[in-house]
Structure 1
Amino acid sequence: MHVKGGDMENLKKILEEISLDQMMDRIHYMTENFPYRLSGSETEEKAARYVTNVMESYGMEAEMLEFDAYNSTPMESKVEIISPEKFQIDSLPCGHIRSTGKDGRDFEIVYVADGSISAYEEKDVRGKMVLVEVSYAPPVPEKAYIAAQMGAAGIMCMNWGNDEEVICHRALKSVWGNPTPQSLKEMPDLIGVGITRHAGLRIKKLCQGGEKVIAKVTAIADRRWSKVRQPYGIIRGNGESDEFMLVASHLDAWQPGVTCNATGNATTLELCRVLTRHREQLKRDIHVVFWNGHEIAEAAGSTWFLDHYWDLLNKKCIAYMHIDSTGVALTKKLEIKSSDELYSFARNNVKQMKEGELRIMTLKKIGDQSFMGIGIPSLCQRISFTEEDMEKAHGATLGWWNHTKEDGIDKCDPQILYQDTLIHAEFIYNFVNSDLLPYDFRRKFDQIEKNLYPLAEVYQEKVDFTDVLANLKEAKELVLGIQNNSASLAPSKRSDYNEFVKIVSHSLTNIFQTYGSKFDQDRYGHTNLTEPIPLLAEIKQLDKLEPSSLEYGLIETLVVRNKNRITDGLKTVIDFGKVYKKVLL
């Protein structure tokens, strides 16, 4: 990436103005005055109003959006093991559960490891409560969905970490964002509690001892529509372009919620303060939203924003950055997760870092990544734990204290927070000031080929891949041909080029990184999203089925239709590629 001398000087001034004191003051103020920021609560509204007022004080256009979210408030729980031993354990109720009532219920407990589909092989969990070890593979809402599909009546979530006697707040709502009449039917209707890792290991040992393990569980939470609020601000650039970058950070949090996500809020507000002071040096606008409904309502705020600002986002948004859990203590390695077309730009943004100091990977659809269906390229980054540290903590990627009462001010490292904020500021400034949108599709096509060709080779006799491979080849040649000549484009053609690469990014992201339609959302943590090509995830089931069986025919039909969706998306790229090739070259 070539940065002009004037731009470099402006960026240097911006970075010099970032204030650690300002950020630490924000963190202290929010966590001391709004310690409980769960969606729909009175303190959440106060926090939202505070953030909105802060953005206004910086000179931003700001408003507090209000909408209805399908929400839940966890209330109380109690767990007692009554056989083969008797003892009580501490617990917390999960959100979006079916309550037991005050008298509780008895359950047989069955241990199912990570709660993935394969963990249920040769296990009958119908009417029972499953004990799962918490991890992000799959996330808790998907563990709950799988448990419900297997006939379980309840789920008990054993915390990650090691010897820490803490319980993580969790929710079981597998529906991404607000439900529809159809998706509501798929939401798990389970009784659910969280417990410490120590207690979970004790119950696991009993389950593996050969005797039935019986627990009396009481868990109470509600499920309802509630009003929630999210601050929305705009930093207007110098008017050179009407495009914008979307930057967001979730506002709702479990008490005290320092690193999840007061630190992310502080980073975002400091970026607002400094970038607003330099708005005349910004060629594009920056839209900033503090999502609500991130924790229990599972990305309700970002999904609502997409639903209600669809046309604006579809036409004018050039990228999305989610800022979460910056400044986490004991972290050592910069982690960047990005859409493949942003990979080169993101890497160049931290070119001074050596490979061993950096972990960079393709971004999957998780968290508040609600914009992959529409196809907007995304990025999230933060200084994170090393692989060894995460392994020792049994998958606690954000620290064993994440979502617990122990997420206090001592879990924030001010110097790491400062470094995180510098990295975000540099990326945003350089990205919004790019004359040509810095999407690089070489890695995108390389990854698609890497994932698609092996499937085609293995399953060509079952499903004809000739059409999709031909379209992929033609799309790649057209897109890279135009991209490789972009440096020589006349200034009058830059706008046309930017429109073309947005079309390509929207089309490829939709068909290769999501499973549901672009107008809907995937189930939260959907197992298929972990596959190299989510739309073709079911093809592997054909290996286990008799070709003459009903099930084989059903899966084959599904796979062929999903393959056709990919083929059609590639055709869209080809059609626009042919038109823009004439216009640009």
Structure 2
Amino acid sequence: MNKALMDRLCDQVSVTEMMRHLEVFARRMKYSGTPEELESFLYLQEEMRRYGYRTTLLSHDAYISLPGDAHVEVQGQNLACITHSFSRSSPPNGLRGKLVHVGKGRVEDFAGLDVAGKIVLAEGLATPAVSMLASRAGALGQLHASPDEHLHEMIVSPVWGSPTHETVANLPDTVVCTISGADGARLRDRLAAGETIEANLSAKVDTGWRKTPLLVAELPGSGASEDDDEQPFVLLSGHHDTWHYGLMDNGAANATMLEVARICARERKLWAHGLRVAFWSGHSHGRYSGSSWYADAYWDDLNRRCLAHVNVDSTGGVGNTDLTHAMTSSELIGVARLAIREQGGGELQGRRLGRGGDQSFFGIGIPAMYGGVGEQPPGTPMHGKFPHPLGWWWHTPGDTLDKIDPEILVRDTRIYVHTIWQLLSVAVPPLDFAENARRLVAELETLSGALAERFDLSGLLRRTRDLHSNAETLRRRLADPLSSAAVEEARGALLAVSRALVPIEYSRGDRFEQDPALMQPAFPPLQPLRELCKLQAEEDAAKFLSVSAMRACNRIGLALDTANSALEKCLSRLDAEPSLAAE
């Protein structure tokens, strides 16, 4: 990598240019499927065309939920409140019921409580997990006590993207409102003292199918024609829809995307791959309906050509100085560490990518990075209460232009320029699957020790160690000069490996379905084995789990065999064919 060129590119980041975009974004609230949002998308399209990109403004059906007015009345007292995306609308006179405190709304908090026909009082953000548990327990409604004094907009559907005929039944069937943390604490204390409290929840929520926009802007790499449908590309994406004006989330991120696209386009002659930039709608009000639709509609193209997905969210926030916990998939953590060290002056500890942030491409098998890079430092009030501590204004009307720190915006954007250039400028994508193998070995060794003789994981462990060895060998070989034929061979192998391994590390392993928008452990297919560790071998439940565990092992074994085969074939050809030696 040419460090002098990289520094020159990063030095071109212009705060003036990005603040110009933000002043435009500050004119409109951009709720999914609204005319105001479309007007703002037209601005994005105009700017991307000005930078030389070929643009396509798509329109597609999406199941969108826009929260409206809400009222919470508790024994004659009206409490400040909001309702949420995918809450059910209440009857005209509201929904009345007795309050039951369910702590933080976890499985163990609901255990032993009769909440059927009642309204649950839960501490913390309104989340899909709590909503699902409340719905399944027969609750009429949910009243959430905010983690602080602010009312944070949320989406409570666990269904990723627009529902299918099979998943529509999983949408929430309760009325959901949030009140301040202080009001929630007072109700909790009264309930703890034995008082019976009735609440009335009123909510208006506009849920249904809408046409939503999606902007795709693309430039091919060096030597490729405008209509080349074979050249691999890097996907840079972020949502454009907002809660309220949303200048940090996600206006600043969109300004970052535009600036990355502008700067990188100037050196297109040095690109080894194409760059595709996508702006989504339906993130905030459709549970990632835009990116999910795109994954479905362009599955074949993404599967054949997409090398990596870099997501941009909530850059430039005031006080978001901590860079240690940016999320990235294991095979790209080296790319992230270098970018953050050189452009942010921080050392990335790393955090596993979660099930969120328009990461709709795990099933296809596309390695992914980020979802924002900076956050509030440890010790600030949001830590421990919010999944991403980005400032009190997150998802509130307070997310306005004064919450953008120009210096942090420049820092974050330099990190993204560095990241994208690492991916664009090298002929063989910098994917380190040895790291993926190391993590899987650790998981399997833990399970093997716990299950002892009950379940033989030696075969999976052997194949995973083979994967580590093969990936390390290829990494060393790629440090040498390669012919163009060798580059094609190595790139094809790494693409095949990613399609095999990413789905088993970040999804249940189905390459065509979207997992629910709920927390998942690493390597989700291993979950039956984790559950099996908790049971005695002769229990019926253990035998049921053993059936699932065998299938899980088969799924993971196939992925490992596919990955090892691709790597071994590549290494064999590099070793055996003189035509693939460095020219």
**Would you say same fold, with TM above 0.5?**
yes
**Residues 25-52 of structure 1: CA distance to partner in whole angstroms, max 9, x if unpaired?**
11111112x2x21111111111111211
Counterpart residue number, 1:580: 570
For residues 94-173 of structure 1, what are the structure 2 equivalents within 5 Å? 94-134=84-124, 140-161=127-148, 164=149, 166-173=150-157
Displacement, 1:328? 0.4
Q: Is the 8 A contact 2:116 2:140 kept in 1?
A: yes
1:115 Cα deviation (Å)? 2.1
Given that 1:259 and 1:328 are in contact with CA atoms closer than 8 Å, whether structure 2 keeps it comes out as yes
Does the 8 A contact of 1:168 with 1:195 survive in 2? Answer: no
In 2, are the aligned partners of 1:333 and 1:357 still within 8 Å (CA)? Answer: no
Question: Within 2, Cα distance between the matches of 1:340 and 1:20?
Answer: 32
Report the secondary structure of 2:319's partner residue.
coil
Identity score, percent: 28
- What is the aligned length? 566
Deviations 1:472-504 (A, max 9, x none): 233333332233322236323011111111211
2:309 equivalent in structure 1? 320
2:196 is equivalent to residue 212 of structure 1: yes
Deviation at 1:301, TM superposition (A): 0.7
Question: 1:565 is matched with which residue: 552, 555, 560?
Answer: 555
Find the counterpart in structure 2 of residue 451 from structure 1: 443
Q: Structure 1 CA distance, aligned partners of 2:344 and 2:63?
A: 44
Tell me if 1:55 matches 2:34.
Answer: no
Deviation larger for 288-297 or 87-96: 87-96
Letter matched to residue 159 of structure 1: S
Mapping of residues 164-563 of structure 1, within 5 Å: 164=149, 166-239=150-223, 242-334=231-323, 335-352=325-342, 358-380=348-370, 381-389=372-380, 391=382, 394-395=385-386, 397-488=389-480, 490-491=482-483, 492-525=485-518, 527=519, 529=520, 531-542=521-532, 550-563=540-553
| Counterpart residue identity of residue 446, structure 1 | R
Once residues 114 and 70 of structure 2 are traced to their aligned partners in structure 1, the CA distance between those partners, rounded to angstroms, is 26
Q: Which amino acid aligns with 2:197?
A: V
**Tell me, what secondary structure is at the counterpart of 1:567?**
helix
The amino acid that maps onto 2:117 is G
- The structure-2 alpha-carbon separation of the partners of 1:516 and 1:75, relative to structure 1 and needing over 3 Å to count, comes to farther
Matches of 1:171 and 1:351, distance apart in 2: 34
Which residue type is aligned with residue 40 of structure 1? G
Residues 39-86 of structure 1: CA distance to partner in whole angstroms, max 9, x if unpaired?
11111111111211211122210121100001112122111112xxx4
Give a deviation string over 1:514-558, Cα, whole Å, max 9, x none: 125110111002x4x1x2332222434445556555544333322
Going from structure 1 to structure 2, the CA distance change for 1:316 and 1:461 (only over 3 Å counts) comes to: same
Distance change (3 Å), C-alpha of 1:402 and 1:336: same
The residue type paired with residue 413 of structure 1 is D
Q: Select between 247-256 and 93-102 the one with higher mean Cα deviation.
A: 93-102
| 1:76 aligned onto 2:69 | yes
The question of whether the paired residues in 2 share the 8 Å contact of 1:67 and 1:228 is answered with: yes
Contact map agreement 1:284 1:433 (CA 8 A) in 2: yes
Secondary structure of the 1:394 match is coil
How far apart are 1:470 and its partner, in Å?
A: 2.7
Give the letter aligned to residue 248 of structure 2: T
Q: 1:259 to 1:561 in 2, by over 3 A?
A: same
Query: How far off its partner does 1:468 sit?
Result: 1.9
- Relative distance call for 1:129 and 1:439 in structure 2 (3 A) is same
467 and 251 in structure 1: CA distance in 2 versus 1, 3 angstrom threshold:
same
Could you tell me whether the CA contact under 8 Å between 1:245 and 1:318 is conserved in 2?
yes
RMSD: 2.2
Q: Secondary structure at the match of 1:361?
A: coil
Query: Matches of 2:8 and 2:105 in 1, distance apart?
Result: 50
Matched, 1:89 2:79: yes
Alpha carbons of structure 1 residues 574 and 278: separation in structure 2 relative to 1, 3 Å? closer
Conserved 8 A contact 1:168-1:404:
yes
| 8 Å CA contact retained: 1:98, 1:189 | yes
* Match for residue 30 of structure 1 among 25, 34, 37: 25
User: Do the aligned partners of 2:87 and 2:156 also contact (CA within 8 Å) in 1?
Assistant: yes
SS of residue matched to 1:360 = coil
1:390-434 CA distances to partner (integer Å, 9 max, x unpaired)? 555732612221111111111111110011111111111122101
In structure 2, relative to structure 1, the CA distance for the partners of 1:358 and 1:255 (3 Å cut) is same
Specify the code of the residue in structure 1 equivalent to 2:373.
R
CA 361–565 in structure 1, closer or farther in 2 if over 3 Å, else same: same
SS in structure 1 of the partner of residue 357 of structure 2: coil
Q: Give the distance between the partners of 2:24 and 2:453, measured in 1 at CA.
A: 63
Cα pair distance change 1:393/1:346, threshold 3 Å: closer
Match of 1:64 in 2: 57
Specify the alignment match of 1:12 in structure 2: 7
Q: Identify if the C-alpha distance between structure 1 residues 353 and 231 changes in structure 2 by more than 3 Å, giving closer, same or farther.
A: closer
Distance 2:413 2:431 in 1: 23
Give me the whole-angstrom Cα distance separating, in 1, the residues matched to 2:171 and 2:453: 37
Compare 57-66 and 436-445 and name the one that shifted more.
436-445
| Matched letter for residue 301 of structure 2 | L
Query: Which deviates further from its counterpart, 221-230 or 268-277?
Result: 268-277
CA deviation after TM superposition for structure 1 residue 457, in Å: 1.3
Amino acid at match of 1:30: F
